Amino acid sequence: MLTVNGHLKRLCNGMSRRDLIKVAGTGFAAANLPSSSWADSASKKADKRTLAPRAKNVICLFLYGSHSQIETFDPKPEAPEGIRGELGTIPTNVPGVFVNELMPHTAKIMDRLTVIRSVTHQYPVHGVAYAMTGNPRVTLPMELNPHDPDHWPYLGSLVDYLDARENPGVIPPMPRNMGLPWAFSSQRIGEVARAGPYGGFLGSSFDPTWTEFVGGGTKKARKTLTDKVWNDYEFYRGITPESRLRLPGINESAGLEMDRLDRRKSLLEQAEQLRRGESADFSGGTDRERAQAYRLLDSPKFRQAFDLDQESMAVRESYGMTLFGQSTLTARRLIEAGGRFVSVFWDEFGLAGTGWDTHWDHFPRMKDELLPGLDMALSGLVSDLDRRGMLDETLVLVLSEHGRTPKIATSVAGGGRDHWSRCYSVVMAGGGVKRGHVVGKSDRIAGDVVDNPVSPKDILATTLHLLGHDHTDLIHDRQARPMPLVADARVLDEVLI
């Protein structure tokens, strides 16, 4: 079982939290928006069209720290060496479309993907709360505070809420919103926790149901940050076959005897009755969480979804024997068992600046960790879903907060690419999305969009559309102000079948 190792004090580039808060006003506008504009625009709308869902569920692969567009889905082999770097490119099975040479498996499934090469926004920080919620303006202090009351709900939380609203009182057999492999931003040392994948103003009952990782690594990695040195197993490079994900604190192999479970239920019900009598503002969210917990404890189908021994070793290896690969396989099993929205975060582990945050050691990490891990997990997932007849009903997203600088920093060991939000790439597949398609275009160095700019909000709006929801529909925040599901967005008709 992994534990949180300490308080995080500095950001990935060495700047302090205080330094970044001082400059927050230069890049971010105020987060509180006048509600009248949303209400006015909604009142002017004609009758909403009925949306027929194309996707039944979503698997979101989030590359925290942000991948380089040049080293993944938008290579620039004709660019100067200081831009293109030391890695080559290879053709895919879609004529004229190339990827990095370390993504040979992805090259073979490109005919089942849509690559959007023109995603752009103005906030080059680790803004998961900006990229993955409907809020059009998120301040930097908010990004550093997961509990800020002005946060909007994460996309998975929003889907969970909408499903619950449409089916009041119904407790699904599986959690609608799950996060793997552990609670976001909980396994890093050297920096503050990050906002993003939470219920926001919908409340904590719509936070994802998080798992934990239990297992061991097979490869070690060394990382240095200021005066700290981390030399430990790096689970994103390799894990043992016995490694597993599970719900925190629950030993799936041992289980719970039914009489013990019944006693726990009885004691908890008595405690909640006391709480209701003493508190006038008791929230029904606790009832919802408790009912879901009982359902999960009683569900062999849910527990079996985590049992990777039910898969052949060939299938497991096709995803890659890494934490990200096996988490992605677990996500497929959870969806197959009835899940709705499963997020797999390639999260930081150990010192800050891990994950996809490659300010230094960019090329060594691309070669021995990042690109092989992504290549196997993405290709394994898409091929497996397609083989099982699940791809057409499962929307796959591969995204991040931003991209990386076109120009390589040569003053750091292993080279580095810094934050860059003016142009980067996102991948969509399955669930009503075109196959073998490229949307948008970047300039010759993948630094700016030259055709069809796409906002991260457009990705969210399109995802909701594919699930049968109108992103202009209204929800209410903590002050009962009407807000759209996603503000300042459009559905990307160019990616739809």
Q: Tell me if 294 sits within 8 A of 263, measured CB to CB.
A: no
* pLDDT value at 395 more than 60: yes
Cα–Cα distance, 305 to 377 (Å, whole number): 18
Are 407 and 84 in contact by the 8 Å Cβ rule? The answer is: no
What tokens does 397 get?
A: 């997203």
Contact 285, 205 (CB under 8 A): yes
Note if the bond before 181 is cis, omega within 30 degrees: yes
Answer whether residue 5 shows pLDDT above 80: no
Q: What is the pTM of this model?
A: 0.86
Mean pLDDT of the chain: 85
Q: Which of 7-21, 54-68, 120-134, 414-428 has the lowest mean pLDDT?
A: 7-21
Does 35 have pLDDT greater than 60? no
- pLDDT tens digits, one per residue of 425-471: 999 999 999 999 999 999 999 999 999 999 999 999 999 999 999 99
DSSP class of residue 298?
Answer: T
- 227 has pLDDT over 80: no
The 3 state secondary structure assigned to 82-115 is HHHCCCCEEECCCCCCEEECCCHHHHCCHHHEEE
> Would you say residue 81 has pLDDT above 80?
yes
Which of the 8 DSSP states describes residue 81? Answer: H
Kindly list the domain boundaries of the chain, sorted by start residue.
17-25+57-252+306-495
Per-residue pLDDT tens for 324-346?
999 999 999 999 999 999 999 99
b/e for 181-191, b at 16 or more Cβ within 10 A? bbbbbbbbbbb
Query: Which pLDDT belongs to residue 293?
Result: 67
Residue pLDDT, tens place only, 243-297: 999 988 665 444 444 455 555 555 455 545 544 444 333 344 556 666 666 667 6
Among residues 67, 60, 182, 43, the alpha carbon closest in space to that of 119 is found at 67
What's the CATH code, domain 17-25+57-252+306-495? 3.40.720
Within 177-275, strands assigned E span 177-180, 188-189, 209-210, 212-214, 220-225, 228-233, 244-246
pLDDT of residue 285: 57
- Please tell me whether residue 18 adopts helix, strand or coil conformation: helix
Taking CA atoms, 242 is separated from 111, 213, 344, 468, in Å, by: 34, 11, 19, 39
pLDDT at 97 over 80: yes
pLDDT tens digit string along 155-166?
999 999 999 999
pLDDT of residue 299: 79
The token duo for 316 is: 């497991």
* Residue 402, C-beta contacts closer than 8 angstroms, at least 6 positions apart: 66, 121, 123, 124, 125, 127, 131, 419, 420, 421, 424
Q: How confident is the model at residue 398 (pLDDT cuts 50, 70, 90)?
A: very high
Average the pLDDT over 141-162 and give the result. 95
Q: Please tell me the predicted confidence (pLDDT) of residue 265.
A: 53
